[in-house]
Amino acid sequence: MMDHGERTQQMQMRRRSMSMLAWGVAVTVTAGGGLPLHASDEATSAEAEQVYQRKWTEAELREVREASQEWFGQPVVRMDYAPPPWTPMVVDGQAIESWGKVYRYSDSVLPVQMTSQALELLAGEPRFVLRSDGQEHEFREAEVTIEKVHEGLVQATAVSQSGPFTLEVKVGYEFDGMGKVEVALSADGSPTVESLHLELPISAERAQLFHMTGSRHVLPIPEEQRRGAAAPPISDSGWVPEETWQLDAFREILWFGDQTAGLSWFADGMHGWPISGEDEIQVLEPERDGARLLRVKFADRSFTLDEPLELVFGLQATPMRPRRDDFRSRVGWMLPDFDGPVEMRWRWGDGYYYPFHETYPEKAREDVEAVRAQGRELLTTSSLEYFGPHRFYKTPYGVVDHPGMIHREVLFWKDQWNQVRTFEGSVSDAQQRHEEALRRHEAGDPGGRSVEEVLALDRHTAEGEWYGQEWRPSTYPERFCYNETSSFADYYTWKLKELVEQTGKAAIYLDQQLYYCANPDHGCGYVNYDGEWMGQGNVFGMRDAAKRLYFAFVEGNGTAPLVMWHSSHQLIIPAISFAEIFWEGEKYTIPDHERSILGREFYSEFLDEAVMQVQHMGKPFGFTGDFLPQLTRAQLRSMPITSPAVASARDMVGLMLIHDSHLDAYRPLTYHGDLISHILTKRATYPLDEMQVSYYWEDDALVHVEQSDVRFIMHYDDEHALLILFNWSGEMQRAQVSIDPPTQSTGEPTVHDVFSKEQFGQDLQNFEIDLLPRDFRMLEVRW
């Protein structure tokens, strides 16, 4: 029997031979994006026309249809273990432990104690509260069974009873601490239920910061909540207010925490919820007895419990993953003086956002190995949600097989995989197609167009002039094209595992967001409380797709991958468990918004501590924060005459540095790249990954600054420190600073500016430094 590599090589040879036979013309490599050097204009025109009009043959199409048996509905990868860097889960009585987290039951319906990094996340026992016939029924105590399914999954089942009602709560806890909660409410007889809520008492000490993420773009949002960076604000981060925090429009993801740890609640949607509307759908009550009570409304409309009511949501203690000890040196894209750990390639495969190599897998492997020999990983761009539908004509490796053609998978399954914001049709039509999709999947039928239907299509190639040109057709991606809940995720995982085995690559960039999808043809959507067909944000689907991708790397080459996730304004918490780097910031160029750099000079004018600590730091979640300033020339024309200046660049750098974050310094859209590179390179000369850190928000920080507008971060060891001071105000500041060294001084203490070498005395308990408005100083301190 052939192994996977032999089968893949045979398939590639078969594809190429069929391609040349069907095409019937010689492939001529061109130069400079132009025409064949030996051909006349007439000959080239005729050859190009033949290429433009080419269609896939019946044999080529059937090959792809038959290959679907290898990926459709198949796991493709093993996931019955805890992958690196996570460790196997542990069950100790009614306590479930995963890396840095403990979920402890006490004959209870949900854990009565959740800890992360030894910090308490709860301040009481969770409960479900039901009202029936004017009486309140509480589900708190339960009969609990806990089973370790394998080292990466523990199943907890709790059964609670009150009056005629039985509540069964099954939670599958995975190695990163994510718990998928499946609730079934049943009853003897057919009693009427008036309401049902979940009450989750979160520790007030932890509930200092919040993040919320939603998939819908049009929501009725109270004016006081119109503050996020999306347009309109489907997502937001900030300080948790002392008063009631209330949402009157459902959000798929909520998170409450502090700068170190937190707790997230999430769900795909309100499928099956007997509610009359979204008023007070998610509420965080004021502090009482050390708790902030999160109340989620599942039902407020009377219904008869003739059959079980089933609900699904998730809980996730954060951080989700261990941050690498060397995370501060794991970012930086090929800076002139400081080579980062990755080499980023925006286009790499046979098509846009299509990382797969059917034409030149051998050259792709050589590329990966050459970059790795320089101490870096090749980071290529891709997405679980969309990629360009066309194949390139030519890449640096040469002319692509089937140039300019629409990928056969796209011709077959695009409509079925498509991410649809609104469904054009009746509710009954949507329900029928939804049920057909579920039946089709159960039967192992991949659906989509038939071979005959594809052959009958008018065009199999891209439109426009792309013959002979590199990186063409340029289909910068057909956005919202594919959905990770559809079988596209099966296909993608299958292709990615093949690519990893072919090339040995161990890094990938994912351009991902949580989009609203109402396409019933792959199982999305449901009938909402108004009787309308409503889409959903596929939180669990995105998580599953990201997890399978991660395992594809581990299975393919035996190592944990470097996954860089880009999802401006959205922390898709159960999915970014698998991301080492979180890249965002381009959202701040949205015009006419409270959080926009356009029309302003400085990021620090509108980015506050809460937003920075939640979205751009990574500490509460376990990823490395990387900032993306995204300024096109057109956007720069909307900025003040003085911006972007050296001052605004220094403001941006200082803001990132005091939050232990990084800055994408050398993309074409970043202003003053040389200056930023110079600063970051100097910072990188210090052994930051071996040093401890003291942050400005810590009560026991080793640094004290008299001026409240001056924030700091100090990286230190037993002998010296790198202290960064940032003036978060528009006024000049003379900062009065004192430092408590962690060890006894062995010599004469000194403080000097890293760049200017200016000295600031020898008294660490009392020295002064001038700071320009919205500027920083980088100091070396020795004791």
- The 10s digit of each residue's pLDDT in 466-502 is 999 999 998 776 765 788 889 999 999 999 999 999 9
Q: Is the torsion defined by CA of 390, 393, 395, 399 positive or negative?
A: positive
Residue-wise burial string across 148-166, b where 16 or more C-beta atoms lie within 10 A, e elsewhere: eeeebbbebbbbbebeebb
Q: How far apart are CA 401 and CA 178, in angstroms?
A: 42
pLDDT of residue 540 exceeding 50 = yes
| pLDDT (0 to 100) of residue 188 | 94
Kindly list the distances between the CA atom of residue 22 and the CA atoms of 405, 626, 727, in Å, as whole numbers in the listed order.
13, 47, 67
- The 10s digit of each residue's pLDDT in 293-332 is 999 999 999 999 999 999 999 999 999 998 888 898 877 6
| pLDDT (0 to 100) of residue 303 | 96
Domain 90-318: CATH class, spelled out: mainly beta
Average pLDDT value for the chain: 90
pLDDT of residue 15 exceeding 70 = no
- Residue recorded with tokens 């939804």: 434
Kindly list the distances between the CA atom of residue 388 and the CA atoms of 347, 487, 543, 713, in Å, as whole numbers in the listed order.
11, 17, 22, 43
| pLDDT (0 to 100) of residue 344 | 85
- Residue recorded with tokens 């309100």: 270
With CA atoms as reference, report the closest residue to 659 among 706, 600, 604: 604
Kindly list the distances between the CA atom of residue 583 and the CA atoms of 137, 213, 415, 579, in Å, as whole numbers in the listed order.
46, 16, 30, 10
| pLDDT (0 to 100) of residue 221 | 53
Kindly list the distances between the CA atom of residue 644 and the CA atoms of 14, 318, 604, 607, 776, in Å, as whole numbers in the listed order.
54, 36, 13, 17, 17
Domain segments of the chain as ranges? 1-84+350-423+446-510+541-584, 90-318, 585-685, 688-782
Strand, helix or coil at 172? strand
Kindly indicate the confidence band of residue 230, based on its pLDDT and cuts at 50, 70 and 90. Answer: low
| pLDDT (0 to 100) of residue 705 | 98
DSSP 341: S
Question: Cβ of 71: how many Cβ atoms within 10 Å?
Answer: 21
Kindly list the distances between the CA atom of residue 180 and the CA atoms of 84, 252, 598, 623, in Å, as whole numbers in the listed order.
21, 14, 41, 22
pLDDT of residue 87 exceeding 80 = yes
- 637, with CB counted inside 10 A (0-12, 13-18, 19+), is exposed
Angle, helix 4-23 to helix 58-67, in steps of 10 degrees:
160
Paired residues of 583 in beta bridges:
566, 626
| pLDDT (0 to 100) of residue 341 | 78
Residue-wise burial string across 261-284, b where 16 or more C-beta atoms lie within 10 A, e elsewhere: bbbbbbbbbbeebbbeebeebbbb
pLDDT of residue 224 exceeding 50 = no
Q: How far apart are CA 385 and CA 352, in angstroms?
A: 13
The answer to whether 393 touches 466, Cβ cutoff 8 Å, is yes
DSSP 371-427: HHHTT-EEEEEE-SS---SBB-SEETTEEPSSTTBBPHHHHHHHHHH---SS--S-H
**306-315, 450-459, 597-606, 702-711: the lowest-pLDDT one:** 597-606
What CATH number belongs to 688-782?
2.60.40.1180
Read off the tokens for 120.
């308490």
Contacts of 556 (CB under 8 A, 6+ apart): 496, 497, 499, 500, 501
The number of helix segments (H) and strand segments (E) in the chain equals 13, 43
